[in-house]
Amino acid sequence: MRPTRWYALVAVGIGAGAVGYLITRASYADLPSPTLYAQISLFVLAIAEGYTATMTKARLEGRPGTRPIDPLVVARLVALAKASSIVGALAAGAYAGFLGWVGQLTSTTASSDVRTAVAGMAAGLALVAGALYLEWVGRVPEDPNDDDQ
């Protein structure tokens, strides 16, 4: 499995932003305002992944008070991290596209939606950061004796 590439996440975010902008522009009056529940759940996932990464790192390093971790569990956590980073990029991009449209409006509802969109972007970026940290923790260290040239 290859590490997640930053440019892939940027491409996903830009694509989601474009789609979010177009959908919002076409039907903003018909869409319900997003609630904070989605952003809260993204923040909770980001915190959970950061905590899992910290605990996994401690277990891999064999710190006192921790048990060894099964390598298959680490591989599953890395797979979770790769998927979560894409979800975070999708969310951040979609909220950025939404913000691109509602930021131009001057109504009271739009100003409330601006705050919601900013919180959504922050939550998506936090999920990306937590996922990338978890993925980084799960990497197999390079063998210095490996002469694979």
Q: Note whether 25 and 101 are within 8 A (CB).
A: yes
- Amino acid present at 130: G
Q: Note whether 85 and 50 are within 8 A (CB).
A: no
Q: Note whether 89 and 128 are within 8 A (CB).
A: yes
**What one-character-per-residue DSSP string does 46-79 give?**
HHHHHHHHHHHHHHHHT-TT-----HHHHHHHHH
pLDDT in tens, the chain (149 residues): 788 899 999 999 999 999 999 999 999 888 888 888 889 999 999 999 999 999 999 998 888 888 888 889 999 999 999 999 999 999 999 999 999 999 888 888 888 889 999 999 999 999 999 999 999 998 876 766 766 55
Does pTM surpass 0.75? yes
According to the model, what pLDDT value does residue 31 have? Answer: 82
